[in-house]
Amino acid sequence: MEVKDLKNEKLKSWLQYWIDLCTPDNVHICDGTPEEYDCICNMMVKTGAFIKLDKPQNSYYARSDKTDVARVESRTFICSEKEEDAGPTNHWKDPAEMKAEFKELFKGVMAGRTLYVIPFSMGPVDSPIAKWGIEITDSPYVVVNMIIMTRVSKTIIERIDSEDHEFVPAVHSVGYPLIGDMADIPWPSAPVDKKYITHFPSTSEIISFGSGYGGNALLGKKCFALRIATNLARKEGWLAEHMLILKLTSPEGKVKYVCAAFPSACGKTNLAMVRPTIPGWKVQTIGDDIAWMKFNEKDGKLHAINPENGFFGVAPGTSMKSNPNAMETINAGNTIFTNVALTEDGGVWWEDSDTKPEFLIDWQRRPWTPGCKDSAGVERKAAHPNSRFTTPAKQCPVIAPEWEDPEGVPVDAILFGGRRKTVVPLVTAARNWEHGVFLGATMSSEMTKATLEGQGQLRFDPFAMLPFCGYNMGDYFQHWLNIGKHPGANLPQIFYVNWFRRGEDGHFLWPGYGDNSRVLKWIFEYCDGKAAKKETEIGFMPADGALDLNGINVSAEDQKALLSVDKEGWKKAMPEFEKHFEKFGSHLPAELRAQLDILEKNVGYEK
């Protein structure tokens, strides 16, 4: 199929506008077949953009430019008609002014390159919860990653053309035209001050310029699946969330489905694929990063799909100890690695891996040995802290059989959580839906390596959506409250978890990893009304002895710290809660202000 063969005037004119503006040498409409994937990967090996690995099988390695290694939140914009609609947690640009700037930036920007047209589905193609998109890009790296991460198919563009099916239009360029006899480079990108990742809620458009990395360029991921989807979900009465989805099966064969929201690099993938350490319990994976949830009128429950087709995971911290199922998925092959280190035997390595190599080539092409230091005398990492793997979800050894069920899976529990060393207990159950929304709205975590700015600081990250909500977050809180009022709703239970609590000497109070299944077991029992619990100032918590701790060594002192309320710690935190809510002004729902008043009274905080 070629653009000239299209009959849908809306689709054809949109594509032709960008072709005429960007002036590529070639236009290629992708079909997502294995043959196309292999062809583009082989081309990238020949141009030096990819290295073909000896292991895992059929896997490739890319290094980015050192200025293009993560999401750039300071260059990510919501281009709503009014700045107020973007809200205090987003950067805003006037849509008309942004479009005018793009008209100049994109003029001739694909000279010397191929413009790829990627028709893709977020979710199973015919799912009533799924949405379709078309991404235009001049990056072959984006094409092959999108083939893994979404469902790319020529059928989608044919159906858009013939049925006038709705789609999200997405445009991307690395911003590096090849003019005259100019040579290409392995990772083309634009300077940081020319990078733009923009979203236009009124037209559901995405336009990204200058970055070839991750969520900046794979526009089906954070841009579509969250920032644009949250706007669609608000209009249509569903939820688009930064959440894993797992299937939890008891020894008796009873099943519950759990969604969980954690900030990037705080353990979503690990929990989604956790191997329980308690006999007879089983966890299977539906998704590790995004959940789209719509009410199913048959049972009144929110039904969730994973709109993605692969895993785009942070490599450092992933190992046979932390996540053996992720390692088996990666090692099954067909994986793209970005900014990890290369081993002498044709494989890859990153910090926290299971081996201890004596020599590597690091992510910046430099020889690396254990303990080597940079020019400032700081020990040098072999892999970038935000280095990534892109791998097909279907290869996961614990992928649930229903992970592609078009109707989605019924959600029984929603977990919120972050990386907190103090104050926040191991697990707390919300008293009701409003209290659960309050727990989500007041999530806080230490910032991760998945962003360029502010690493290591503590920030409020409501619903793990701080960088991803596509409109005013105060209105997003209200949308969550409205979901709780859906007629006939059979709502999931809401919980708050914290795997990262530490003692005064710095040791972790909770072993984590597979032992997190012990908390999942209590949550399962709580949803059935069978969990032993106690009411506290902040919600319901496991009663003494309610957690299954057989076979692990958690001291009585640590148990007490994990499962008690530090009232003094909460009191000290209340001014930060107040400051957090003040940001939303008149957009803060009254119900959440009331929940904060209840918490302050319960812990004895006086203003």
Supply the pLDDT for residue 458: 59
**Residue 587: half-sphere exposure toward Cβ, Cα within 13 Å:** 17
Whether 54 maps to a domain, the answer reads no
pLDDT at 451 over 70: no
Distance, in Å, from the CA atom of 122 to the CA atom of 117, rounded to the nearest integer, reads 16
Whether 247 maps to a domain, the answer reads yes
Number of domains in the chain: 3
> Is the Cβ–Cβ distance between 138 and 22 less than 8 Å?
yes
Cβ neighbours of residue 425 under 8 Å, at least 6 residues apart?
Answer: 498, 501, 538, 541, 562, 563, 564, 565
Q: Which amino acid is at 124?
A: P
As a whole number of Å, the end-to-end CA separation of the chain is 67
The mean pLDDT of the chain is: 95
Domain identity same for 350 and 335: yes
Supply the pLDDT for residue 1: 74
Domain identity same for 80 and 10: yes
Domain identity same for 465 and 568: yes
Domain identity same for 274 and 335: no
Residue 352, token pair as written in the block = 């926290």
Supply the pLDDT for residue 265: 64
Whether 360 maps to a domain, the answer reads yes
What's the pLDDT tens digit per position in 311-349? Answer: 999 999 999 999 999 999 999 999 999 999 999 999 999
Whether 151 maps to a domain, the answer reads yes
Distance, in Å, from the CA atom of 158 to the CA atom of 515, rounded to the nearest integer, reads 48
Supply the pLDDT for residue 455: 47
pLDDT at 264 over 80: no
pLDDT at 540 over 80: yes
Cβ neighbours of residue 527 under 8 Å, at least 6 residues apart?
Answer: 256, 412, 413, 492, 493
Distance, in Å, from the CA atom of 14 to the CA atom of 24, rounded to the nearest integer, reads 15
266 classed as catalytic: yes
Supply the pLDDT for residue 446: 60
| CATH number of the domain where residue 162 is located | 3.40.449.10
Domain identity same for 359 and 324: yes
Domain identity same for 440 and 586: yes
Domain identity same for 330 and 213: no
Catalytic, out of 266, 396, 469, 527: 266
Supply the pLDDT for residue 449: 53
Domain identity same for 531 and 551: yes
> Is the Cβ–Cβ distance between 217 and 195 less than 8 Å?
no
Give the pLDDT band of residue 459 (cuts 50, 70, 90): confident
Whether 51 maps to a domain, the answer reads no
Supply the pLDDT for residue 462: 97
Whole-angstrom CA distances from 111 to 22, 25, 39, 108 are 7, 6, 22, 6
pLDDT at 453 over 70: no
pLDDT (average), residues 362-378: 94
Buried b / exposed e across 320-350, counting CB within 10 Å, b at 16+? eebbbbbbebbbbebbbbbbbbbbeeebbbb
Distance, in Å, from the CA atom of 129 to the CA atom of 117, rounded to the nearest integer, reads 23
Whether 294 maps to a domain, the answer reads yes
Domain identity same for 353 and 292: no
Cα-based torsion angle of the residue sequence 546, 548, 554, 556 in order, rounded to the nearest 10 degrees: 30
Domain identity same for 322 and 275: no
pLDDT at 103 over 50: yes
Residue 539, token pair as written in the block = 């919600």
Domain identity same for 523 and 388: no
pLDDT at 561 over 80: yes
Domain identity same for 389 and 502: no
Whether 64 maps to a domain, the answer reads no
Phi-psi map region of 454: left, alpha, beta (phi>0 left; psi -120 to 50 alpha): left
Distance, in Å, from the CA atom of 145 to the CA atom of 148, rounded to the nearest integer, reads 5
Whether 264 maps to a domain, the answer reads yes
The residue out of 190, 216, 236 marking a domain boundary is 236
Give the pLDDT band of residue 101 (cuts 50, 70, 90): very high
| CATH number of the domain where residue 490 is located | 3.90.228.20
pLDDT (average), residues 106-130: 98
Supply the pLDDT for residue 261: 97
> Is the Cβ–Cβ distance between 565 and 428 less than 8 Å?
no
What's the pLDDT tens digit per position in 267-278? Answer: 888 999 999 999
Distance, in Å, from the CA atom of 14 to the CA atom of 392, rounded to the nearest integer, reads 31
pTM reported for the whole predicted model: 0.95
Count the residues in the chain.
Answer: 607
The residue out of 395, 422, 457 marking a domain boundary is 395
Q: Which amino acid is at 408?
A: G
Cβ neighbours of residue 442 under 8 Å, at least 6 residues apart?
Answer: 460, 462, 577, 580, 596
Give the pLDDT band of residue 456 (cuts 50, 70, 90): very low
Residue 460 backbone phi and psi in degrees, to 5: -70, 135
pLDDT at 266 over 80: no
pLDDT (average), residues 104-121: 98
Closest CA to 433 of 503, 366, 489: 489
**If you write DSSP's letter for every residue of 143-174 in order, what string do you get?**
HHHHHHHSEE-HHHHHHHHHH----EEEEEE-
The residue out of 236, 253, 284 marking a domain boundary is 236
pLDDT at 164 over 60: yes
pLDDT at 457 over 60: no
Structural domain for 455, as ranges: 240-306+403-603
pLDDT (average), residues 145-163: 97
pLDDT (average), residues 174-180: 96
CA 568 remoteness from chain centre: 34
